[in-house]
């Protein structure tokens, strides 16, 4: 089988790595891929938003299955474009992807189907939003409606911070048109977890749980990032909690989307707050998490290509998906200046030595420099992942791997695998 993987991050490197172990897969292409991915398969220089060019490539190369990593092409309708041409592709349609593409849609949907989430208001007009905030000096989460690379939600502890958030989204438009509408919601208190599931729109198969570290600094301080590291599984999601998440959240969501004529096939990712009164949805994503994938797929024993195919063919119920009873950790190394203004073009040293520590390296923002060396080319640069029978063992191994790699200005958190709860402002 020939597979095309769309995307260029650590998540896609992990997907390519796992697919390369499949007995069904003979050849993998990635578009556009990155330096690390190019060592495992052939990278083609087509951007993730060039939907027609991707479909033409898949047709020309007789690709048997295309797998989409990031949300942007999904929300743009890549699955619809491929399916119209009779090409097999793994992921939700444009209509189904709206569960991630529009937070306003997701919130209204959750309200309609009684899926637990924070109570909220939606505003399209700055003056109305400002009036609401002026009369509410309580902590609030203020979010841009559209896609903002995981950075469009601000946690505001008081009126002053809320006014600042509204000003940046609706007046200064720092997230562009994504901030035309804002969602203002109550703060949820608890532990944040990520639960992803494979689904063909009928059967839902949950993956092992994970926790992501979203803020840039240790202890969960500073601005939000795409994710600075992750671990799996998390003890917060024990069997009972997983059952509650499936019954109260995943099942009604998949069923509700089907009722709305938005059949969801692919990866449904629920970002959840496990509160004192049970799990509540912070957000849905329509794809694998990054860096959650880097810790979840190393724990998957089953053949990933077989699972993807079974979903495309509406036969997920026939799959017996098996997980290793181990822990996995991934520490992300990011560029100086990330998340605001990442500095690129720095030479990366020591990558070859990481494997000596028993770690895996998943590349994100890397490329080949003019002199042939590997250089940084994005905000998140690499993820160093390790597995072990115990979480502590996986943490220790991953940090030994991190110790082998260096590039000027590298930023990484020292506390991946340790969660410190509490609500923290986005403004300091």
Contact positions vs ligand AMP (CB under 6 A): 118, 141, 143, 150, 152-153, 155, 185, 187-188, 192, 214, 224, 271, 282-283
Q: Give the residue with the Cβ less far from ligand AMP, 67 or 141.
A: 141
Q: Rounded to an integer, what distance in angstroms lies between the CA atom of residue 169 and that of residue 7?
A: 28
Q: Are 96 and 264 in contact (CB under 8 A)?
A: yes
3-state helix, strand, coil in the chain (%, to 5): 35, 25, 40
Residues 6 or more apart in contact with residue 325 via CB below 8 angstroms: none
Residues 6 or more apart in contact with residue 300 via CB below 8 angstroms: 18, 207, 321, 322, 323, 324
Partner in contact with 188, chosen from ligand AMP, ligand GLY, none, beta carbon below 5 to 8 Å by kind: ligand AMP
Q: Cβ–Cβ contacts within 10 Å for residue 52, how many?
A: 11
Q: Give the residue with the Cβ less far from ligand AMP, 17 or 123.
A: 123
Q: Give the residue with the Cβ less far from ligand GLY, 55 or 118.
A: 118
Q: From residue 276 to residue 295, what is the string marking binding to ligand GLY with x (rule CB under 6 A)?
A: ---------x---xx-x---
Q: Are 233 and 327 in contact (CB under 8 A)?
A: yes
- Of how many residues is the chain composed? 428
Phi-psi region of 126 (alpha: psi -120 to 50; beta: other; left: phi over 0): alpha
Q: Rounded to an integer, what distance in angstroms lies between the CA atom of residue 197 and that of residue 14?
A: 17
Partner in contact with 290, chosen from ligand AMP, ligand GLY, none, beta carbon below 5 to 8 Å by kind: ligand GLY
Q: Minimum distance from CB of 287 to ligand GLY (Å)?
A: 8
Q: Minimum distance from CB of 296 to ligand GLY (Å)?
A: 11
Q: Are 269 and 231 in contact (CB under 8 A)?
A: no
How many residues of this chain bind ligand GLY (CB under 6 A)? 7
Partner in contact with 187, chosen from ligand GLY, ligand AMP, none, beta carbon below 5 to 8 Å by kind: ligand AMP
383 scored as a contact of ligand GLY (CB under 6 A): no
Partner in contact with 143, chosen from ligand GLY, ligand AMP, none, beta carbon below 5 to 8 Å by kind: ligand AMP
For 285, phi then psi, to 5°, come to -120, 155
Which two three-digit tokens encode residue 396? 């220790």
What is the radius of gyration, based on Cα positions, of the chain?
A: 21
Residue nearest to ligand AMP (CB): 153
Q: 């901030």: which residue's tokens?
A: 179
Our measurement of the distance from residue 414's CA atom to the centroid of its chain's CA atoms, rounded to an integer in Å, reads 21
Q: From residue 127 to residue 166, what is the string marking binding to ligand GLY with x (rule CB under 6 A)?
A: -----------------------x----------------
For 148, phi then psi, to 5°, come to -145, 35
Partner in contact with 213, chosen from ligand GLY, ligand AMP, none, beta carbon below 5 to 8 Å by kind: none
Q: Give the residue with the Cβ less far from ligand GLY, 78 or 166.
A: 78
Among 227, 342, 365, 401, binds ligand GLY (CB under 6 A): 227
Q: Give the residue with the Cβ less far from ligand GLY, 100 or 303.
A: 100
- Binding residues for ligand GLY, rule: CB under 6 A, are 150, 212, 227, 285, 289-290, 292
């Amino acid at each position: 089988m020939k597979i095309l993987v769309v995307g260029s991050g650590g998540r896609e490197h992990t997907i390519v790595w796992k697919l390369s172990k499949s007995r069904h897969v003979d050849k993998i292409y990635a578009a556009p891929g990155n330096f690390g991915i190019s060592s495992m398969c052939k990278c083609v220089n087509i951007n993730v938003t060039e939907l027609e060019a991707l479909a033409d490539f898949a047709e020309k190369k007789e690709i048997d299955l295309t797998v989409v990593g990031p949300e942007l092409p999904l929300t743009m309708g890549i699955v619809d474009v491929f399916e119209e041409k009779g090409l097999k592709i793994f992921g939700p349609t444009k209509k189904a992807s709206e569960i991630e593409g529009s937070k306003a849609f997701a919130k209204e949907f959750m309200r309609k189907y009684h899926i637990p989430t924070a109570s909220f208001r939606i505003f399209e007009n700055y003056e109305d939003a400002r009036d609401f905030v002026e009369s509410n000096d309580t902590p609030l989460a203020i979010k841009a409606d559209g896609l903002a690379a995981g950075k469009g939600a601000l946690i505001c502890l008081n009126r002053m911070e809320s006014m600042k958030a509204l000003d940046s989204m609706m007046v200064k438009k720092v997230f562009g048109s994504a901030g035309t509408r804002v969602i203002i919601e109550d703060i949820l208190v608890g532990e944040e977890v990520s639960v992803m599931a494979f689904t063909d729109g009928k059967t839902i198969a949950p993956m092992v749980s994970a926790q992501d570290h979203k803020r840039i600094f240790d202890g969960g301080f500073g601005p939000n990032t795409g994710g600075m590291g992750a671990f799996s599984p998390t003890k917060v999601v024990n069997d009972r909690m997983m059952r509650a998440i499936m019954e109260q959240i995943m099942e009604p969501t998949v069923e509700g989307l089907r009722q709305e004529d938005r059949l969801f096939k692919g990866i449904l990712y629920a970002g959840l707050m496990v509160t004192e009164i049970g799990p509540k949805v912070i957000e849905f994503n329509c794809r694998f998490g990054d860096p959650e994938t880097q810790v979840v797929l190393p724990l998957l024993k089953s053949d990933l290509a077989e699972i993807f195919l079974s979903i495309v063919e509406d036969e997920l119920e026939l799959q017996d998906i098996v997980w290793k009873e181990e822990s996995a950790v991934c520490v992300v190394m990011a560029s100086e200046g990330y998340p605001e203004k990442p500095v690129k073009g720095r030479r990366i040293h020591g990558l070859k030595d990481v494997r000596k520590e028993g770690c895996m390296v998943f590349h994100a923002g890397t490329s080949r420099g003019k002199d042939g060396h590997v250089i940084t080319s994005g905000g998140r640069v690499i993820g160093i992942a390790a597995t072990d029978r115990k979480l502590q063992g996986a943490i220790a191994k991953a940090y030994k791997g991190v110790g082998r790699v260096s590039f000027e200005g590298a930023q990484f958190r020292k506390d991946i695998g340790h969660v410190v709860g509490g609500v923290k402002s986005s403004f300091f």
